[in-house]
């Protein structure tokens, strides 16, 4: 099975607002919208929207057993693990096991995330 497809649509258009999903435990300050997903492998492409004031410190640092790419579409976000403020245009290709976050957003920030659980480096089932 391959990732789902959808031809030319604008996930940022107000008519698509209901498609965004609040990430549990974020007080409504972080939302996600899956753009494409492979239900069999778990590989996905999504947008994550951090509203000003979002802070993932309670979730701690993140580590995945699979590669992940991120691109900052707009705004800024601070990555505590790297002691670095990421801004529009910044890109990272994270190898499996790379520690990142927690994240703090003083302004609204939109992140494109491409994750590849099919390339999991451990034998356990991948997680998101």
pLDDT for res 128? 42
Low-confidence ranges of the chain (pLDDT < 70): 1, 123-128
- Beta-carbon count within 10 A of 26 CB: 17
Rounded to 5 degrees, φ, ψ at 45 are -125, 130
CATH architecture of 28-118: Sandwich (2.60)
pLDDT for res 126? 44
CB 73 within 8 A of CB 112: yes
| CA 106 centroid distance within chain | 17
Q: Which two tokens stand for residue 30?
A: 């972080």
Q: Which two tokens stand for residue 18?
A: 């209901």
Show the CA angle centred on residue 120, arms to residues 48 and 71, nearest 5°. Answer: 30
Tell me the pLDDT tens digit for each residue of 94-104: 999 999 999 99
Length of the chain: 128
Alpha-carbon distance of 68 to 96, in angstroms, equals 8
Alpha-carbon distance of 67 to 18, in angstroms, equals 29
Alpha-carbon distance of 61 to 14, in angstroms, equals 32
pLDDT for res 127? 42
pLDDT for res 96? 95
């Amino acid at each position: 099975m391959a990732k789902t497809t959808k031809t030319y649509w604008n996930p940022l258009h107000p008519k698509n607002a209901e498609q965004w999903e609040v990430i549990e435990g974020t007080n409504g300050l972080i939302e996600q919208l899956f753009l494409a997903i492979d239900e069999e492998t778990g590989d996905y492409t999504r947008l994550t929207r951090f509203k000003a004031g979002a802070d993932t410190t309670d979730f701690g640092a993140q580590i995945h057993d699979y590669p992940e790419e991120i691109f900052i579409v707009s705004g800024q976000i601070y990555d505590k693990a790297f002691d670095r403020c990421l801004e529009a245009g910044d890109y990272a290709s994270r190898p499996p096991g790379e520690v990142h976050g927690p994240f703090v957003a003083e302004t609204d920030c939109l992140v494109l995330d491409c994750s590849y659980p099919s390339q999991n480096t451990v034998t356990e089932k991948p997680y998101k």
